[in-house]
Amino acid sequence: MRIPSLSSDDVVRVLKKAGFVYAPKRGKGSHIALYKTTPSGKRLVIVPKRKDLPAGTLHAIMDQAGLSRDEFLRLLSDT
């Protein structure tokens, strides 16, 4: 299944389902910062505020979050 065109709000919803929370004092202006504490440390993900995120940006966000394509799609379908 192909990843659909998503807005930053859609991506933030998926990341919150994956356990990410807003990073205090990190998101400024046109970006949203979220983080998650993992056994290996903290993961910080920066999401630009856009109506439609480019595919490359979306893949980079998934990499930053440590989510596979399948995990991301599963979380997306649960929203």
Q: What is the pLDDT of residues 3-53, one digit of tens each?
A: 788 999 999 999 999 999 998 876 568 899 999 998 888 999 999 999 999
The reply to whether 57 falls in a domain is yes
The Cα 10–Cα 8 span in angstroms is 5
Any idea what the Cα angle at residue 54 is, between residues 49 and 56, rounded to 5°? 115
Domain residues for the domain of 20 are 8-77
What's the token pair of residue 28?
């400024």
Count up the domains in the chain and report the number. Answer: 1
Among residues 1, 15, 12, which one has the least CA distance to residue 70? 1
The reply to whether 37 falls in a domain is yes
Instruction: Determine the pLDDT at residue 4.
Output: 83
**CA-CA-CA-CA torsion for 5, 8, 65, 16, nearest 10 degrees?**
-110
Instruction: Determine the pLDDT at residue 5.
Output: 87
The reply to whether 42 falls in a domain is yes
Is 64:42 a contact under the CB 8 Å cutoff? no
Instruction: Determine the pLDDT at residue 8.
Output: 95
The reply to whether 66 falls in a domain is yes
The reply to whether 2 falls in a domain is no
Residue 41 sits in a domain whose CATH number is 3.30.920.30
The reply to whether 35 falls in a domain is yes
The reply to whether 24 falls in a domain is yes
